[in-house]
Amino acid sequence: MNPNAILTHGQVLPPSQNRHPIPRDPASCRHPERTPTQHSSTPARSASTRRSNREDDAGDQAATADAVAALRTVLEARLTRKKTTVIDATNCEKAVRAGLVQAARRHGVPAVAVLMGTPVSLCVNRQTARTPDRAVPADTVRAQHAAAVTAFPGLRGEGFDHVIFADQLHRLEPLLQRASETRRADLGWDGHPGLGSLLLVRRVFGDTVLPLWRWVEGSTLAGGDRVAEITLGADRLRLALRQDIDGEGDYGFDLLTACPVDDECTAPAWTPAHSVTTLLDAITGALDDTDTVCTVHGGPADHDQDDDPEGRADLEAQYADAIRQ
């Protein structure tokens, strides 16, 4: 099952009371212990969130009517577009549930009741960790628990297509499905252009730099290798895409930087850029130039060796002696 709408109910029934078949692929579920729940791909609609938006107080019950009206407006808008929608609320009143089921029917989508098998004692105790404006009185929690237990056997008769417990949902498959679809889109396997030459860029530096990345076509700065720029305001970084590192066919990026040997040298010098941290170090002046190589002076190790010609000659003599022996 892959419902287009999930209309949730209740939070307090013990899992042992579940007598209904459990669909394999519900789109999402609610978590009342952390109300309001945030869903990355399926926005949850919560009355407490609407109260907070309208009155700056999620616990202000006087604002409930306005909050519910706003929630219904959003619900209708999403269901019109066949969007999976979570109503994150206890929904212990039969009339409230009936309105949600009717909304699903009007738009031709399934209605699913998702229940939490949370003991009433735990529900009450969790209120102590909430801020005063979000804490629900213990008597109210107990009343909701009792109402949910009473309503549970008749939920199918109220028109819900599925009645399931959150702790028995199969969640890994839809997660992997979204990850697979994202990968296929990145590679252009879904019929769209994909990331193309930016795929490696994102893999190395992350999503943040992608909007700032620009390939500099025809540049000779890197000896024929492809050159790119990351520009924002007055800051600019230049990078070269190396496609045969160490002659072994490995891919990677080098960052254009200053010569590590001669402060007055203006020749290009390159240092390996392994991640976005390398770029940050370059901007802040914290870049380690140990592996930096100037196209004229070489690297720091080459320079240190040139500063001691007598020592190098002595090593060469020792090597010759060893060969002769």
pLDDT at 189: 93
Helical spans, DSSP H, in 213-299: 276-284
Over the stretch 257-308, which tens digit does the pLDDT of each residue have?
999 999 899 999 999 999 999 999 999 999 988 899 999 999 887 765 445 5
pLDDT at 33: 36
Kindly write down the DSSP assignment for every residue of 88-149, as one continuous string. -S---SHHHHHHHHHHHHHHT---EEEE-B--HHHHHHHGGGS-TTTPPPHHHHHHHHHHHH
pLDDT at 301: 74
pLDDT at 289: 82
What is the distance between the alpha carbons of residues 46 and 30, in angstroms, rounded to a whole number?
10
Q: pLDDT under 50 in the chain at which residues?
A: 1-6, 8-42, 44-46, 48-59, 61-62, 305-306, 311-312, 315-316, 319-320, 322-325
Would you give the DSSP letter of residue 298?
B
Task: Centre a 10 Å sphere on the Cβ of residue 116 and count the other Cβ atoms it contains.
Answer: 22
Would you give the DSSP letter of residue 275?
S
For the entire predicted model, the pTM comes to: 0.52
pLDDT at 246: 75
